[in-house]
Every structure is written in structure tokens, then in C-alpha cells.
Homo-oligomer: A and B are copies of this chain.
Amino acid sequence: MTAIRVLLADDEHLIRGAPAALLALEDDLVVVAEAATGPEALAMARAHRPDVAVLDLEMPGADGVSVATSLRAELPGCRTMIVTSHGRPGHLKRALTAGVRAFVPKTVSARQLAGIIRTVHAGNRYVDPELAADAISAGDSPLTAREAEVLELAADGAPVAEIAERASLSQGTVRNYLSAAASKLGAENRHAAVRLARERGWV
């Protein structure tokens, strides 16, 4: 049996260090490449053609999900999985629709991670039960496309006038969307709405 070839992409070097521990215990895994940024991960994947790519969700350059989509197009044989510290429900959904095979919080142990890598390599999927429950209970985003767009422009606390200009909309319209979004999310005002949408991964 030939070993599973793994690509590790994470800007936190300590996390990339974990597989060293992994290798000491598991002899059917081999780390063929490491990367600290999104673009670097892509380049490494092209060069080394891993069986499984383990991607951090938050990386400089490009986030894990977008790397996964690129990878899916370029290297269909390569399975991808995401690890993250912040398990937002929306991110999980985005990842799964991007064809990611596993979604794992960084709270797992190296041993568990090894198991999940094997699961993924065997063609199966894995999602952390906790995160899955959150995602299901949180449900889908109730926001329309425009509402989400406007809410995103409001994310850094910009005044309505600026948002209206950047979205090429009337101020009244912007206020309407913001109001609609806030009420759909059960928020008192748009800023609280932004916060909630962020928490659920809808922005």
C-alpha cells in the first residue's frame, strides 16, 4: 500500500508542525508540500499533485474555499478539506458547495486529523458534528442578493450616503435594504445586523 500524499496549507506554522507528530505515529501518510498562503498552496499543489489538500480557512492571499474551488478545477483527483479555528455555519455551507470533502475545527487532535485524512482519501466526507448541528439550526441566509451586498458595504460602519454611492443606489433604497436585512435577522439596527450576519457566515 502506497502512502497518502498530503498538502498542508496554513499560515500558522505551529499547525503545520502538527503533522510531524502525525508522521511519527502514522506511516501511511506523507506530507509532500507545505504552504503559508493561498497562492502558495495552489502553486505547491500544481507542483506536487497531492492526494489530499488540507487547507486553512483564513489565510493571507486567498481563503481556503477559493483555493479549494481552483484546485477542484485544476486537479480533479485531489480531495480537499478545510480546517479552521472559527466554525461559522455559513462557511461550512460555502465550503461544501465548493466541493470540499471535510470541514474540521482546529480543536481536533493530530490523531483524529489523520483519521479524517484517511476517510477523505477513501472518498468519503466528514463534517464536525458540532458544526453540522450549528449549520442546520442556523439554516440558510434569509437575505436577498442586494440585501447582502448592501449589508456588506455597511460592514465597516460607513454612513448611508457612502454606501449609496458605492452601490449606485438611492439613499432611500439603501435604507430600505438595510432595514429589511436588520428585521430579517432580528437585529435592532444595521450594525447589530452586520455582526449577526458575520457570526453566521452570511456576509
Contact = CB atoms under 8 A, between A and B. Distances in A.
Interface of A: 11-15, 17-18, 20-22, 24, 36, 83, 85, 106-110, 112-113, 156-159, 187-195
In order of increasing CB-CB distance, the 3 nearest A-B pairs are A157-B191, A157-B192, A20-B21
A11 B158 CA distance: 34
Contacts of A192: 156-158
Contacts of A12: 15, 85, 106-107
A110 B17 contact: yes
B106 A159 contact: no
A157 to B, nearest CB: 3
Given A12-B107, A14-B109, 11 more contacts: A11-B107, A12-B15, A12-B106, A13-B109, A14-B110, A14-B113, A15-B15, A15-B18, A15-B106, A157-B190, A157-B191
A103 to B, nearest CB: 15
A14 to B, nearest CB: 5
Contacts of A17: 18, 21-22, 109-110
A194 B155 CA distance: 12
Contacts of A157: 187-195
Contacts of A112: 13
Given A21-B21, A157-B195, A106 B14 contact: yes
B108 A13 contact: yes
A134 to B, nearest CB: 16
